[in-house]
């Protein structure tokens, strides 16, 4: 496979010691195996996520993303921007599209960028890593890389919101996207096609500000996985992963449940299936250990 180079936008939560640093490690492992070279956008900044709107108005928020795109165009010319975080991808792509459609906003963003001698051309595609896997690499090529099939594991595909709406992955439905099921099957595990909480919201940033309301939704996401006999939940989104994994103690206390469900990234499933060890697959970054994956990785 020829080496693919992308302009990589990891995002704040992927940094060392941050909440999805485990996703970053597994992404790196997965990309090594698939011969994808991640060229980080130099000095990238926060995208503002989907909660920055209170403090930041429309133009300041679009300008945050415009700076990242401009830096990418300057330092990684000709390379597509690829993000692994749902919010990073969404904000950047939203900014790209709105600045494309609104000439005044484009002019104003460039006026702000001019303060630091940057210029946005806005010609760079903004993609999610999942699009690279599904559209450029393909399920067959992924299957061909599998050394240790995740046989016997039943995995609920929890796609969540922002990897799915409003842009989503081409040719997928908003109500029942199936690419994650296909990825799960490509690495030899069983998916759960009827998992009804696949695109249920976890509360997003409101897990911090409205924990009771959010934990009620998270409870439903985990309960449905148990109802289907899932061993694990897999997700592409760092906030989904954290929200569904880390509050299980609090949810158990609130609802009298006994949840202890591991929640992992697709990149961790792929790293293990490609024959890499637990550490490379960032399984040590779990709060609820994914023992079934550790066993396969240790074989």
Partner 1 sequence: MSDLNSAMTERYHNSFLKEVEANVEEGEWVKMCMQCGVCAGSCPLGNAWEHTPQKLFMMIRAGKREAVLSSDAMWMCTSCYNCIARCPRGLPITHIMHGLAHYAKRLGLVPKNQPTAQFSQIFWDNLMKKGRVNELKLGLAIYFKDGFGQGIKNALANKQLGQNMMKAKRMNAMEFFGGHSIKDTGGLQKMIKKAQEIEDAKIQGNS
Under the rule (CB under 8 A), what is the footprint of partner 1? 12-13, 15-22, 43-46, 48-60, 62-64, 67, 108-109, 111-113, 115-116, 118, 161-162, 165-166, 174, 200-201, 203-206, 208-210, 213-214, 217, 242, 246-247, 249-250, 284-287
Supply the minimum distance, in Å, between the C-beta of residue 1 and partner 1.
32
> Shortest Cβ distance from residue 163 to partner 1 (Å)?
11
Cα angle 229, 158, 53; round to 5: 150
CA distance 253 to 209: 19
CB of residue 140 to partner 1, shortest distance in Å: 30
CA neighbor of 61 nearest in space, from 75, 82, 47 = 47
Identify which of residues 61 and 145 has a Cβ nearer to partner 1 in the complex.
Answer: 61
Three state DSSP letters for 170-215: CCCCCCCCCHHHHHHHHCCCEECCCCCCCCCCCCCCHHHHCHHHHH
Q: Which is nearer to partner 1, 30 or 113 (CB)?
A: 113
Shortest gap between Cβ of 152 and partner 1 (angstroms)? 26
Residues in the chain, total: 299
- Distances 267 to 74, 228, 273 between C-alpha atoms, Å: 29, 23, 10
Peptide bond into 248 cis (omega under 30): no
Of the pair 154, 165, the CB lying nearest partner 1 is at 165
Minimum distance between the CB of residue 277 and partner 1, rounded to whole angstroms?
Answer: 17
């Amino acid at each position: 496979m020829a080496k693919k180079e992308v302009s990589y936008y990891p995002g704040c939560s992927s940094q060392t010691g941050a909440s999805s640093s485990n996703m970053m490690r597994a992404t790196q492992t997965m990309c090594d195996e698939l011969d994808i070279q991640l060229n980080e956008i130099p000095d990238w900044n926060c995208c503002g996520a989907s909660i920055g709107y209170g403090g930041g108005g429309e133009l300041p928020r679009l300008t945050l993303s415009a700076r990242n795109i401009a830096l990418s165009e300057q330092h990684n010319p000709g390379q597509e921007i690829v993000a692994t975080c749902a919010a990073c991808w969404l904000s950047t792509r939203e900014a790209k599209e709105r600045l494309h459609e609104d000439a005044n906003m484009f002019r104003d963003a460039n006026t702000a960028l001019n303060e630091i001698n940057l210029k946005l051309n806005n010609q760079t595609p903004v993609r999610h890593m999942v699009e690279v896997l599904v559209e450029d690499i393909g399920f067959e090529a992924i299957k061909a890389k599998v050394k240790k099939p995740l046989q016997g594991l039943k995995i609920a595909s929890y796609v969540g919101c922002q990897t799915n709406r409003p842009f989503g992955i081409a040719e997928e439905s908003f109500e029942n996207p199936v690419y994650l099921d296909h990825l799960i099957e490509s690495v030899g595990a069983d998916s759960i096609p009827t998992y009804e909480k696949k695109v249920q919201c976890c509360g997003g940033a409101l897990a911090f500000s409205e924990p009771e309301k959010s934990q009620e939704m998270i409870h439903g996401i985990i309960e449905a996985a148990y109802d289907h006999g899932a061993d694990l939940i897999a997700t592409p989104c760092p906030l989904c992963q954290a929200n569904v994994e880390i509050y299980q103690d609090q949810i158990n206390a609130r609802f009298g449940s006994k949840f202890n469900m591991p929640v992992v990234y697709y990149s961790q499933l792929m790293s293990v299936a490609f024959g890499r060890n637990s550490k490379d697959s960032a399984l040590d970054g779990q709060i609820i250990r994914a023992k079934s994956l550790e066993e396969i990785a240790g074989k």
